[in-house]
Amino acid sequence: MKVEEIMDRDHVTIELPASRNEVLQLMVTKDVGAVYVVERDMSLKGIVTRKDILRNPEKDQVALIMRRDPVYIKLDSDISEAAKLMYEHRIHNLPVIDEEGTLVGAIRTVNFLRVIEDGEHKEPVELVMGRCIPVYEETPLSVIREIMEVSDSYALCVLDGEGRLTGVITEADLFKYAKVDESVNRIDIGLGEDEDKWTWEGMRDIVGLYYVNAVLSLPSMPVKEAMVKGVITVSPRTSISIAARKMRVNNVEQLPVVNVEGKLQGMVEDIDLLKAL
């Protein structure tokens, strides 16, 4: 099967120069986790994801936030090659270009779920699952962002005071509560230097410049108020195909793995399932 058969053709793009707010607006209105940066001829220049924005809360210009030279795949490639690239680079979005380097589509991990489900992969998820970073349900969202950054995770498992799994928090969930705080700052710039002999006895013209300092912030509310509750889980022996079906039907990108006692064992993500291909 070729990439062209499963890719999305309604990918979201933006041209430089552009601001973070413009990208945020696109992500919200189009319900996407990645925006592709292109030239007017649709040649690919970069990509901006939720993670890129969360990792650069103080930057406002897309040129400073985006990842340049992103991993991509050619239109006529096999889906197994696309799956390998996404699995090895741990990415959820893979741009598709034609022979001229023009962006023509994009593949998301969700595009593979039906293929994996229909492939009747009977291997248990315990063979491909990864770790799940646990956090206490009273942890503030601002701290959750830092934990995601340090652990390089986009989803965390939330536990109560007795260590029971009560929810999952993802980057997408954080985005629902993120806001841009704008404050006006003033700086004074001297037009002359102290050692400038042409100034009048050290007197200088002082110019007051005002600029807007915009920073992405999260409220101090506990994660239990923002997490996804009623979490869908799988056991270590659940087959990869069944896990893919659960993700597709329930529109989730990860499933916590718990044993028969309900104890958290790890997490299987849609990226992990790509190993089956």
Q: What is the pTM of this model?
A: 0.79
Question: Which of 37-41, 94-98, 195-199, 266-270 is least confident?
Answer: 195-199
Mean pLDDT of 56-68: 91
What totals of helices (H) and strands (E) does the chain contain, helices first?
Answer: 10, 14
d(CA 273, CA 132): 15
Where would I find the beta strands (DSSP E) of 72-231? 73-74, 93-97, 103-108, 134-136, 155-159, 165-170, 179-190, 206-217
Distance between start and end Cα atoms, the chain: 11
d(CA 233, CA 263): 11
Look at 226 and 214; give whichever has higher pLDDT. 226
Confidence band for 213, pLDDT divided at 50, 70 and 90: low
pLDDT at 189: 44
For residue 110, CA distances in Å to 69, 125, 174, 270 come to 23, 17, 20, 7
pLDDT at 178: 80
pLDDT at 168: 96
| Residues 270 and 154: beta-carbon distance below 8 Å | no
Q: SS3 of 252, please? A: coil
d(CA 44, CA 101): 7
**Phi, psi (degrees; rounded to nearest 5) at 119:** -80, -5
pLDDT at 183: 60
pLDDT at 206: 40
Q: Is the pLDDT of residue 13 over 70?
A: yes
pLDDT at 217: 81
| Residues 121 and 241: beta-carbon distance below 8 Å | yes
Mean pLDDT of 263-267: 94
Domains of the chain, CATH where assigned: 3-118 (3.10.580.10), 125-177+219-276 (3.10.580.10), 179-217 (no CATH)
Q: What is the dihedral of CA 253, 259, 261, 262, to 10 degrees?
A: -10
Look at 45 and 196; give whichever has higher pLDDT. 45
Look at 137 and 60; give whichever has higher pLDDT. 137
Q: SS3 of 214, please? A: strand
Residues facing residue 66 across a β-bridge: none
Counting every residue, how long is the chain?
Answer: 277
Alpha helices (H) in 102-191, listed in sequence order = 113-118, 141-151, 171-177
Mean pLDDT of 119-139: 94
**Phi, psi (degrees; rounded to nearest 5) at 135:** -130, 150
**Residue 209 corresponds to which amino acid?**
L
Mean pLDDT of 194-203: 43
